Structure 1
Amino acid sequence: MPAPLRPSAHAPPRDPLAWTVTLLALAAFAASFVLWRSGGFALDVPWAQQYDLRLHVDFDGLAALYALLATGVGAAVFAYATAYLPLHLEHQTRPARDRWRFWPWMGLFTASMVGLAMAQDLILLFVLFDLTAVCSYFLIGFDRQERASRLAALMALLVTGVGAVALLIGAVVLYVDHSTFSIPELSRILEGAGDPSTGTTVAVALITVAALAKSAQVPLHFWLPRAMAAPTPVSAYLHSAAMVAAGVLVIGRCYQLIEVSQVVLDGLLVVGLASIAIGGAISLTRDGFKQVLAYSTISQYGYVVALYGIGGRAGAGAAAFYVVAHALAKSALFLTAGAVTMATGSRRLSQVGGLWRELPVLAAASAVAAATLSALPLTIGFFKDELFFHAAAGRSTALGILAVVAAGLTFAYTWRFWSGIFLGPRPLVSTATGGPAKPAALSPLPSLLVAPIAVLSLLACFGGVIVKPFADLASDAATATLGHHAAVHPAYHLDTRTENLMALAAWALGALLLATPKLWGPAARALSRAGERAGPSALYERGLSGLNRVSTMLHDVEVRDLRSRVAAVLLPGGILVALGFAATPTAGAFVVGSVRGTDLLVVALLALVAVAAIVVTATHQHVSLVVSLAVVGLGLAVVYALLGAPDVALVAMLVETVITLVFLAIVAYAPRGERPTASEQEGTASQPQRRRHPSRSWRDPLIGAVAGAAAFLVVWASLSRPAATERVVSEQIRLTPEAHGRDVVTVILADFRGLDTMVEITVIGVAVFGVIALLRKGRNW
């Protein structure tokens, strides 16, 4: 059995930064509660008016629910972390200053979660949704010296980041169809539009996929168990009440968009049920504390997703209530796992047991959390399952049966976790003196590693006795989700109604599963092994390895020589131009028109320029190369003059003349090598001649063909009339005064040059900071 993680003899000093973030979270919780009880507030300020982008936030019932969770559970977890983090850093022999890589990100995550809860604009929703992914990347990878932490952070960022891109694409598709990013406005439009269009269905499906990825739902669930490499406070906060909750928050916020498509609603139900089953079954096979809780989180959020799939007042109200009850219980259980690890040094159920004698307060508090998650009476969890059973049985008998099985799974893996830690005999370890084996000594736990767990458990008990405040919060959240009043009325009923019978059946099934692990164990372990070999996690690993190999291959080709670098730009550029050309809608065939008068001279000059460009790629003589380049540049300058752009022509003529003179001067005054002697010539002749790489015989013509075809397509498309040309041109003319310009050309050039310059400055700034960071680290490159 591992040695307990004993605290240092010199307790770390109080951390002002930690307590500042904790007190700010507590103050934000109090402010959120006051705002909720006073009716909330709304703010709607134009951001980019020409694109209908607005800074639109509304502290409605849904925002109140998630803001209270993010700040309330956050305050409890942060208080726990004030004691946990110094010990964690000490055990890893890391400097105390590393806390600056923890607390600012935790605070920023809380703020972004509250903002996400209030967002009423899809682009604002996307920005805050993506910000939570960035914060989670740094928090999951806090132990950056460990490879597992780095890989887990990257996996979480990739999965949830790709989900964020899906959300952005869905938002843009909705804007194209309905000319607004406003969620309330889109809800009103779609409510009276009848059957949704294909574009609308695809858009809401993309938004739903983004939400499911964030909430770690099957088949995008595999990132969450890996994320358990994070420190315990990160897991307790992000993976119980914050980050994974952000996904179902987006579903709740966009539910009036989603419910227009029955296909998407049915998909939510299927994904939710699959997540309940797979997460619950695998949780029963795991030995690590946090692995059990991670898979149970996948399963528990499957309940919420399934409830949104059921829909209606019953589904939306039960989903909101379930999120609250789960957050209280699961965060307490995660904190319990961290406290047990600190006391024993163990992270596995097989390495502990019988701890209730030495840790009675922790055992009692975590027992209440387990009772809440498994829906026992006198806890708020009882009502979450009551509402779940009511919604499922109201949909169909088959769904009601599946709900009982799901609740039985929850009962089994929850009490397997708690009993594995606190019940049974204590493992024995050999003594150094060779005497009889004894239970390992426990490290004393600071009070702040137990008190937050007790507070969360007391809240769960309070909700089990006085449920009205939680029911009111869930009712307000469901009302905001559905757009009309949706009350939630949980209560105890001492009768034989369906929900009570379903609860009894679920407890009996859970107890049976706990008592018969030999019956279901082989099947559950086979499912787990199959997922590891051929599941989405394995596909992710193989896909990432394949991309790495492709990247390495392309890098090797690109750095071979200068022409390869040019090819790496021209070939993809030509392909993208061709794809854009093919996808551009047109009113008919592309028609250039007749060629006469000055046009004949322009065509002849362009043909001369094309011939000169081909000569540039083929010649190996310096003078011929310089002259050919001059013909290209000067020929284009003449074309500019003939097309009515004398200013551009003069600039091009000046530049090309100077460049040509410089090249000629370099060629003329470059030092010439001496003629080799006869013996040197013989020695050279005896050496094997360098053979030209076989790919170069076809590479250069291919590059020229692709680049030439791309240029031709661009010119052809410019001279023709795509269907959207007139609309785009008129829109540019209309917006020119708003950009404070006198003509369209000036505004376009200024805008594009401004953006280009901003990007260049940003790249230079990032490079400078990178060099400074490397120099400060003392690295010699």
Structure 2
Amino acid sequence: AKSAQVPLHFWLPRAMAAPTPVSAYLHSAAMVAAGVFLLGRFYPLLRLSPEVLDGLLVVGLASIAVGGVIALTRDTLKQVLAYSTISQYGYVVTTLGLGGRKAALAASFYVIAHALAKCALFLTAGAVTQTTGAKGLSGIRGMAREAPVLAAASGVAAAGLAALPLTVGFFKDELFFAAALERGTFWAILATAAAALTFAYIARFWSGIFLGSASSNVARPGAGLTAPVVVLALLVVAGGLTVSPFLDLAKDAGAATYGLSTPGEAAYHLDLRAENVMALTAYASGAFLLAVPALWRPLALGVARAGEAAGPARAYQVALTSLNRLSDAVHTFEVRDLRNRLRPILIMAGLLVALGIVSTPSGAYVVGSFTWGDLPLALTLIVAACAAIACTVPRDHLKLVLTLSALGFSLAVAYAFFAAPDVALVAVLVETVFGLLFFGVFSLLPREILRDEAVKMAPPRRRRGNVALASVSGTFAFVVVWGALSRPAGDPSAATELTARTPDAHAKDIVTAILADFRGLDTLVEITVVLVAVLAMATLLRRGRLT
């Protein structure tokens, strides 16, 4: 997706809204290349799986075909270059899918050569638009007469992308052809067809701007618009005349990609070796496609329309719209009251716990022994359970707060029986503070709202659902706690060691060490946020703005 490969390619043509220099940088060598860079870094692992390599071949070849065919149908300059970028990075993905050291070297070299040529072509599109105001091929022709330097520099860049001799692009295709030949004749034929497609859409792009009779809006671009294209064109030619620096860089990148050295040769050979024959065939086939658009244009337009009507972009839009509707429906359901918000969470948690219980081997849960010494703790827990059940009875808010406090204080007594008086003291303080907070909030709320809420009764169906949901949630929570406490881990763990090192943190228990030392700043921020929220609510209530 990051390198705009089929079927996740449709975002790239829509992302061409930035200024041309930004597009030239991001879409030629930076952002879009990040995807193939990531593939390269993981390639030592990916190449171990033939299935993964076959998947890369499928994705890469599909991207070459889709990007190339649609590029032949686009009129907007940036759109042509965007779809050509999809196709060109399809080359890289395909090369990685071919496998082998030659493929790793070829993919690395292809990224370098493509960056130089495509960046120059993007800047050419920007120069043309800035000078003439035209954004499409249909709005400009014959610009070579008024801008011969730009036409020549852009032509060199286009020749580099089309892999013509005396450009660095020639060697990118030579290495690509060598990797395809190593895999087999079938792949060599597909590689030649891909190169012919590239020749056709790049030649269409350049000739559509600079050849033919000049249109009325043709003007001479300034030196500031032409100079960057000239510099990049010189680099493209330099790579075609002296390829060693580029090849050495690609060898280093290929070695990092493959995990081993990637030796290779890039040179001109005046003979009929397979790579040269493939290149000549690609030039001839590309020129033929360019000369007879009537043969392929209806089919290409049909492919483009089919993609717009039922392609990945359409599927993405439908999925996004459906998810938005589902989100709106869930939101509408949840905001009715707190129960509706908690119900999906508790139901999903219960299902996950149930799956865990079902998949757990038999005998995992054991029941420990019960002695008379455990009786006080058991009675305290029974009182806490009764207090929890009693919380469902009161309708008056004051009684409800007092019942909740009884539950909290009961748990504090349980902590004391567990020989954790400090934790029990913290529980007492928390319950006291929250009880006072609730009393303060209720004293500020309008009495009419409290009376209405106190007498309001839920429908019988909802009450039965609440009872069932609470019962199921409580049962699963009990099972989880029972299973965790009945059979603790026998082997010492990192938690055991950290607990033993609590005094090193100048604390007497692990809870204090975590809250005040390891995450002391987090605790301070959380307390501050709660305090600010309480002050804001109190201010709004006092001023009568929250009813």
Judge same fold: TM > 0.5, yes or no.
yes
Match of 1:253 among 31, 41, 48: 41
Residue of structure 2 equivalent to 1:425: 213
CA distance in 1, matches of 2:149, 2:325: 53
Q: 1:333 is aligned with what amino acid?
A: L
Q: How many angstroms does 1:448 deviate by? A: 1.8
Q: 2:390 is aligned with what amino acid?
A: V
Q: How many angstroms does 1:493 deviate by? A: 0.6
SS at match of 1:617: coil
Q: What does 1:59-208 correspond to in 2, within 5 Å?
A: none
Q: 2:217 is aligned with what amino acid?
A: A
CA distance in 2, matches of 1:348, 1:460: 25
Q: Deviations along 1:461-504, whole A, 9 cap, x unmatched?
A: 11111111111111222222223322221111111100111111
Residue of structure 2 equivalent to 1:550: 326
Match of 1:484 among 226, 251, 260: 260
Q: Deviations along 1:253-287, whole A, 9 cap, x unmatched?
A: 22212222222122222211111111111111111
Contact 2:515 2:523 in 1 (8 A): no
CA distance in 2, matches of 1:511, 1:237: 29
CA distance in 2, matches of 1:401, 1:237: 32
CA distance in 2, matches of 1:518, 1:742: 85
Contact 1:269 1:309 in 2 (8 A): yes
Q: How many angstroms does 1:512 deviate by? A: 1.4
Residue of structure 2 equivalent to 1:166: none
Q: 1:304 is aligned with what amino acid?
A: V
CA distance in 1, matches of 2:226, 2:528: 46
CA distance in 2, matches of 1:592, 1:423: 88
Q: What does 1:480-519 correspond to in 2, within 5 Å?
A: 480-519=256-295
Q: How many angstroms does 1:508 deviate by? A: 1.1
Contact 1:366 1:457 in 2 (8 A): yes
Q: 2:329 is aligned with what amino acid?
A: M
CA distance in 1, matches of 2:438, 2:525: 31
Contact 1:241 1:327 in 2 (8 A): yes
Is 1:280 equivalent to 2:68 in the alignment? yes
Q: Residue 578 and residue 722 in structure 1: after superposition, are their counterparts in 2 closer, same or farther (change >3 A)?
A: farther
Contact 1:592 1:719 in 2 (8 A): no
Match of 1:313 among 101, 115, 119: 101
Match of 1:649 among 400, 415, 424: 424
Is 1:403 equivalent to 2:191 in the alignment? yes
Match of 1:446 among 209, 222, 231: 222
Match of 2:352 among 579, 589, 597: 579
Contact 1:571 1:707 in 2 (8 A): no
Q: How many angstroms does 1:705 deviate by? A: 3.9
Contact 1:577 1:714 in 2 (8 A): no
Q: Residue 218 and residue 639 in structure 1: after superposition, are their counterparts in 2 closer, same or farther (change >3 A)?
A: same
Residue of structure 1 equivalent to 2:495: 729
SS at match of 1:214: coil
Q: How many angstroms does 1:396 deviate by? A: 0.6
Q: 2:161 is aligned with what amino acid?
A: L
CA distance in 2, matches of 1:375, 1:278: 20
Is 1:238 equivalent to 2:26 in the alignment? yes
Residue of structure 2 equivalent to 1:191: none
Q: What does 1:8-47 correspond to in 2, within 5 Å?
A: none
Is 1:528 equivalent to 2:304 in the alignment? yes
Runs of 5+ unmatched residues, structure 2: 449-454, 534-547
Which has the higher mean CA deviation after the structures are superposed, 574-583 or 276-285? 574-583
Contact 2:56 2:94 in 1 (8 A): yes
Q: 2:240 is aligned with what amino acid?
A: G
CA distance in 2, matches of 1:380, 1:268: 25
Q: Residue 503 and residue 485 in structure 1: after superposition, are their counterparts in 2 closer, same or farther (change >3 A)?
A: same
Contact 1:581 1:713 in 2 (8 A): no
Which has the higher relative contact order, 1 or 2, with Cα contacts under 8 A spaced 6 or more apart? 2
Q: Residue 662 and residue 218 in structure 1: after superposition, are their counterparts in 2 closer, same or farther (change >3 A)?
A: closer
Match of 1:344 among 101, 108, 132: 132
Contact 1:602 1:642 in 2 (8 A): yes
Residue of structure 2 equivalent to 1:457: 233
Contact 2:335 2:341 in 1 (8 A): no
CA distance in 1, matches of 2:445, 2:304: 71
Is 1:619 equivalent to 2:407 in the alignment? no
Is 1:605 equivalent to 2:385 in the alignment? no
Q: How many angstroms does 1:645 deviate by? A: 1.5
Residue of structure 2 equivalent to 1:116: none
Q: How many angstroms does 1:613 deviate by? A: 2.5
Q: Residue 670 and residue 553 in structure 1: after superposition, are their counterparts in 2 closer, same or farther (change >3 A)?
A: closer
Match of 2:149 among 361, 371, 377: 361
**Normalised by the size of structure 1, how large is the TM-score?**
0.61
Q: Residue 616 and residue 741 in structure 1: after superposition, are their counterparts in 2 closer, same or farther (change >3 A)?
A: closer
Residue of structure 1 equivalent to 2:470: 704
SS at match of 1:281: helix
Q: 1:708 is aligned with what amino acid?
A: G
Q: Residue 402 and residue 608 in structure 1: after superposition, are their counterparts in 2 closer, same or farther (change >3 A)?
A: same
Which has the higher mean CA deviation after the structures are superposed, 638-647 or 659-668? 659-668
Q: How many angstroms does 1:334 deviate by? A: 0.8
CA distance in 1, matches of 2:443, 2:274: 98
Match of 1:467 among 243, 255, 258: 243
Is 1:300 equivalent to 2:88 in the alignment? yes
Is 1:224 equivalent to 2:12 in the alignment? yes
Identity within the alignment, %: 58
Is 1:631 equivalent to 2:406 in the alignment? yes
Q: Residue 708 and residue 462 in structure 1: after superposition, are their counterparts in 2 closer, same or farther (change >3 A)?
A: same
CA distance in 2, matches of 1:288, 1:724: 69
Which has the higher mean CA deviation after the structures are superposed, 264-273 or 599-608? 599-608
Q: 1:579 is aligned with what amino acid?
A: L
Residue of structure 1 equivalent to 2:542: none
Contact 1:574 1:709 in 2 (8 A): no
SS at match of 1:243: coil
Q: Residue 361 and residue 757 in structure 1: after superposition, are their counterparts in 2 closer, same or farther (change >3 A)?
A: farther
Larger radius of gyration: 2
Contact 1:216 1:222 in 2 (8 A): yes
Q: How many angstroms does 1:654 deviate by? A: 4.7
CA distance in 1, matches of 2:137, 2:392: 69
CA distance in 2, matches of 1:398, 1:249: 27
Residue of structure 2 equivalent to 1:63: none
Residue of structure 2 equivalent to 1:757: 523
CA distance in 1, matches of 2:273, 2:487: 70
Match of 2:371 among 583, 588, 596: 596
SS at match of 1:612: helix
Q: How many angstroms does 1:726 deviate by? A: 4.6
CA distance in 2, matches of 1:501, 1:295: 27
SS at match of 1:546: helix
Contact 1:578 1:713 in 2 (8 A): no
Contact 1:280 1:410 in 2 (8 A): yes
Q: How many angstroms does 1:759 deviate by? A: 6.8
Runs of 5+ unmatched residues, structure 1: 1-212, 428-438, 674-688, 768-781
Q: How many angstroms does 1:550 deviate by? A: 2.7
Q: Quote the RMSD (CA, aligned, Å).
A: 3.4
Q: Residue 757 and residue 541 in structure 1: after superposition, are their counterparts in 2 closer, same or farther (change >3 A)?
A: farther
Q: How many angstroms does 1:451 deviate by? A: 0.5
Q: Deviations along 1:689-718, whole A, 9 cap, x unmatched?
A: 999578744553355346424532442343
Contact 1:571 1:706 in 2 (8 A): no
Q: Residue 580 and residue 347 in structure 1: after superposition, are their counterparts in 2 closer, same or farther (change >3 A)?
A: farther
Q: Residue 716 and residue 353 in structure 1: after superposition, are their counterparts in 2 closer, same or farther (change >3 A)?
A: farther
Q: How many angstroms does 1:369 deviate by? A: 0.7
Residue of structure 1 equivalent to 2:161: 373
CA distance in 2, matches of 1:371, 1:471: 19
CA distance in 2, matches of 1:272, 1:742: 61
Residue of structure 2 equivalent to 1:49: none
Q: How many angstroms does 1:723 deviate by? A: 6.7
Q: What does 1:650-689 correspond to in 2, within 5 Å?
A: 650-656=425-431
